[in-house]
Structure 1
């Protein structure tokens, strides 16, 4: 009997020891496979979700859109607005063991600014050069005052990379990225998985409780949800609005939401349309397409009224929203009249590129049906997301259903898409007055004066319609109740600091 009791005790000790050292893995289902994992060259929303796990920034945001310290502790702007001094956090290491200091911060910012093909260059366009003041202080010297600067540093422009790794890898850095975040890169299998493991020397390691994170791209939202329900995933992004009720009724799941900072819209090819279709040749034709669309009806039909219809690059709750330009109503007769004025006879054939995805395709089909009433033949071409971006760059589309995840400053939702020299100006819209407004807004820090500048831009954009803004999504993140400490931010990212998995 005594031997049996001792055996039982030994077994219990083995079980408790195994439990104490059991590795925890957080499995996150993504709606797409990200593009390159290099913060200088990346441009996808889903990529930003992955970056949040391994690439810390100089600053971050909280749930109220306040800018808070991350790798930087503070910042101070000179009276003329042309110098910004930033104090850095001490005792920070990159995931290759190299120290993060002022020289490393200088290197990262200059790489964002000067590396060939950088998508961060327009975000830091006003930056002239970076000075090292002391080992933990840098000074950003600007060409002119730049009001969105600190807001830009809460995103990829503020992500710090290891100088040693970046120099060694060059343009292949995204294959083996090294940053200063809580998790370090292990492996990536395209269209299958991206694996990270906890970084033992992370500066905030006491708030990192999960050992490993695996990102799994699963395009089909129904399959993502099924995997979450079955226990194959622990968290999924972009739950379908039609599945909200199902998630909320499941006692094992929790839904976290917030209205996004970005938008869903249709980019219209104005300057790069090789076929010179009517949409690219006449603003009246673009206005006619806009008038054929009922934004409120799209919201009700596809999203159960959960999203926010919109007609601007910021949502109606944003302090910079232009109330002088309210949501337009659908007007088929006026749309037909505009086509007639433009000398265009229906049907107007349009190559409509639509990234693969349940809700995006559903919206495209509704737009197709609505536009047909006004005389448009929207020929939907479903395309894998990363491929669609490449085709957009090449101008191989006439209309492109494109979402933008959004930034806290209105500049981050407008400049990169509307300025004639911006790399993501897929419409190839070129309007000197709009360029001036975009540039002027970057110089102004007074909110009222800045808003007045954006009013001019809004008027110009709505007259020429390079982008038809449709709605602002509700960020819908579902996760198992075993995951504790999750908070949803308006930028839609999944922050892993403080999370625990029971």
Structure 2
């Protein structure tokens, strides 16, 4: 059946109009990111692990939590300690065994309950209770008890001198949770965050997004949220994160893939921020398993990796070879004699260990693009000395859970991992990863490394009130770690951030924690 001439003309006109409207729609979408929106979309490389700050090991989750929670103390952009819910910095007793906090008044949690001394005590008691098995309990192990002096004054009594205690309260583990929420939600608190921050929780769909919205009852009106909503989206594939940034679908992405930096810089609507981090990336070994119980094998695998080449190939120069077991920006860092690239030395050490033909292992890695590339690079380098590594990629949360198992449960051989001390001190860059009392779930010593000499230096660093003595202890600790090689020391990456040019008030701290609390569109 043929169309009439009039109908045919009408049909053609409708098609043309639809094409025109589609073109206009695409044009609007392309520029919508540059208008002044009231919602922020953040593109991240992984799904968060939990919304419970007392049970969190990763900075990605902390970046989201900080929109909803606040602590007595916090860090500014340069990781200098500042008061937040406390009126001022705490008063430290002369014997360094107690400190007193004066609290700000008139603050309420997002469920309408009061923030006061009782709330502080409830949070610290929860953290310290071994029955709760919280991952950050070790950070407050030096606290004996909390005394309520008056409704807005608390005295923290320590069981021994603990030099980093002030920094410990600035750590994100010190974020304050509503005591009502703690009681109401129990073990499900990780899905029901309630704090005093400028944003409150809306929804978390695994693998898709976490959404928070502006909290209208926020106590600090001068610093109230400037956007109505923030959506955090896990996007492990780097090309997808870049595409979201360029189209304006996301206005802030971290990490920015190093190989895409130049192309992004060519976009007039995008700004790239670069800063030195306190992150160190490494391969962790299960030293309970052969052949990793032999120091010569661990040293050989260090000599077999060309760290400068790694930084050029994977990070395009936006990284540096490690100069110790912690990054240069960490307080207490001291440069060490590291493992230069030396294939022949690596082969010799393997032969001395009875493995002249190498061996086979499984190498775990998160499935984000950067760390997957690190694993591939390491695999190729080890192949040269006869070590055949089979790479097994996992989602970040899955790998974190695998690295949090007890020695008798762990199936780890080796894994691409990383750490950044969120107190900014050497103590937190060493103790939770390598002390013998920090096996999971107490800490993150997922390779089950034990060295009594190291532990002695760690104790001195913790308990001494003499800064020079502490620095010397941490210097000796780093020397022991590098010599004993519980890891392959890989790289110290730069923090690379991509954002739309009309966005301000967002940044990444040196420890890789995102801070988008003060996001604002021009």
Distance 1:98 1:318 in 2: 38
In the alignment, structure 1 residue 224 sits paired with structure 2 residue 241: yes
Counterpart for residue 401 of structure 2: 390
Counterpart position of 2:25: none
* Alignment correspondent of 2:90: 75
Alignment partner of 1:356 out of 353, 364, 367: 367
| Structure 2 residue aligned with 1:320 | 332
- 1:43 corresponds to which residue? 57
Contact 1:28–1:214 (CA<8 Å) still a contact in 2?
A: yes
Choose which of 207, 225, 229 in structure 2 pairs with 1:212: 229
Structure 1: how far apart are the matches of 2:301 and 2:286? 13
The 5-angstrom pairing of residues 123-138 of structure 1 reads: 123-138=139-154
**Are the structure 2 counterparts of residues 498 and 385 from structure 1 closer, same or farther at C-alpha, using a change threshold of 3 Å?**
closer
Residues 98-137 of structure 1 aligned to structure 2 (within 5 Å): 98-114=113-129, 116-137=132-153
For each residue in 1:325-351, what CA deviation from the matched residue of structure 2 results, as whole angstroms up to 9, or x when unmatched? 233211111111111111123231121
Within 5 Å, give how 1:3-152 maps onto structure 2: 24-73=38-87, 74-114=89-129, 116-152=132-168
2:490 to 465, 470, 476: 470
Pairing partner for 1:278 from 281, 291, 305: 291
Per the alignment, residue 31 of structure 2 pairs with none
8 Å CA contact 1:120, 1:156 repeated in 2: no
In structure 2, the partner of 1:239 is 256
The alpha carbon displacement at 1:319 in A equals: 4.6
Residues 191-250 of structure 1 show CA distances to partners (whole Å, capped at 9, x for unaligned) of 111111111111223322111111111111110110111121111110111111122221
Post-superposition CA distance 1:475-498 (Å, at most 9, x none): 111111121233443232232343
Matches within 5 A, 1:445-456: 445-456=465-476
Higher mean C-alpha displacement, 418-427 vs 404-413: 404-413
CA distance in structure 1 between the aligned counterparts of 2:350 and 2:516, rounded to whole angstroms: 51
Q: Gaps spanning 5+ residues in structure 2: where?
A: 1-35
What residue number does 1:379 align with? 390
How much has 1:311 moved relative to structure 2? 4.3
1:14-37 CA distance string (max 9 Å, x none): xxxxxxxx9711111111000111
1:368 maps to what in 2? 379
Q: Is the 8 A contact 1:256 1:476 kept in 2?
A: yes
Partners of 1:182 and 1:205 within 8 A in 2? no
How far apart, CA to CA, are the structure 1 residues paired with 2:379 and 2:126? 43
SS in 2 for 1:100: coil
Aligned residues between the structures: 475
Work out which of the residue numbers 173, 177, 192 in structure 2 matches 1:161: 177
Pick closer, same or farther for the CA change 1:390–1:461 going to 2, 3 Å.
Answer: same
State the shift of 1:499 in Å.
2.3
CA offsets, 1:405-441, max 9 Å, x none? 3321111111111111112110101222222221221
SS for the counterpart of 2:55 is coil
State the distance in 2 between where 1:291 and 1:145 align.
40
- The match for 1:481 among 501, 508, 513 is 501
Judged with a 3 Å threshold, the aligned counterparts in structure 2 of structure 1 residues 447 and 295 are, in CA distance, closer, same or farther, namely farther
Alignment check: 8 A CA contact 1:260 1:473 kept:
yes
User: Is the counterpart of residue 308 in structure 1 residue 316 in structure 2?
Assistant: no
C-alpha contact (below 8 Å) 1:152/1:412 kept by paired residues: no
**Mapped partners of 2:509, 2:127: distance in 1:** 25
Name which of structure 1's ranges 138-147 and 480-489 shifts more when overlaid on structure 2: 480-489
RMSD, matched Cα:
1.6
Unpaired runs of at least 5, structure 1: 1-21
- 1:29/1:215 contact within 8 Å kept: yes
Q: CA deviation at 1:446?
A: 2.9
Looking at structure 1, the residues matched to 81 and 90 of structure 2 have their Cα atoms a distance apart, in angstroms, of 11
Evaluate the alpha carbon distance shift between residue 353 and residue 287 of structure 1 in structure 2; reply closer, same or farther with a 3 A threshold: same
Q: How far apart are residue 177 of structure 1 and its match?
A: 1.1
Question: For the residues of structure 2 that align with 1:42 and 1:64, how far apart are their CA atoms?
Answer: 22
Question: Could you tell me which residue of structure 1 aligns to residue 428 of structure 2?
Answer: 412
Maintained 8 Å contact 2:54/2:127: yes
Answer yes or no: is the 8 Å Cα contact 1:262–1:313 preserved in 2: no
| Cα contact 1:262–1:404 (8 A) shared by 2 | yes
Contact 2:278–2:329 (Cα < 8 Å) also in 1: no
- The change in CA–CA distance for 1:400 and 1:106 in structure 2 (over 3 A counts) is same
Report the TM-score, using the length of structure 1 for normalisation: 0.91
Confirm whether residue 297 of structure 1 aligns to residue 317 of structure 2: no
Alpha-carbon distance in structure 1 between the residues aligned to 2:81 and 2:319: 26
Which secondary structure does the structure 2 equivalent of 1:65 belong to? coil
Q: Distance in 1 between matches of 2:484 and 2:37?
A: 56
* Alpha carbons of structure 1 residues 40 and 64: separation in structure 2 relative to 1, 3 Å: closer
Report the 3-state secondary structure (helix = DSSP H, G, I; strand = E; otherwise coil) of the residue aligned with 1:90.
coil
Matched residue SS, 2:246: helix
2:191 match: 175
Hey, what does 1:433 align to over in structure 2? 453
Shift of 1:467: 2.1
Secondary structure, counterpart of 1:346 in structure 2: coil
Say whether the 8 Å CA contact 1:312–1:458 is kept in structure 2.
Answer: yes
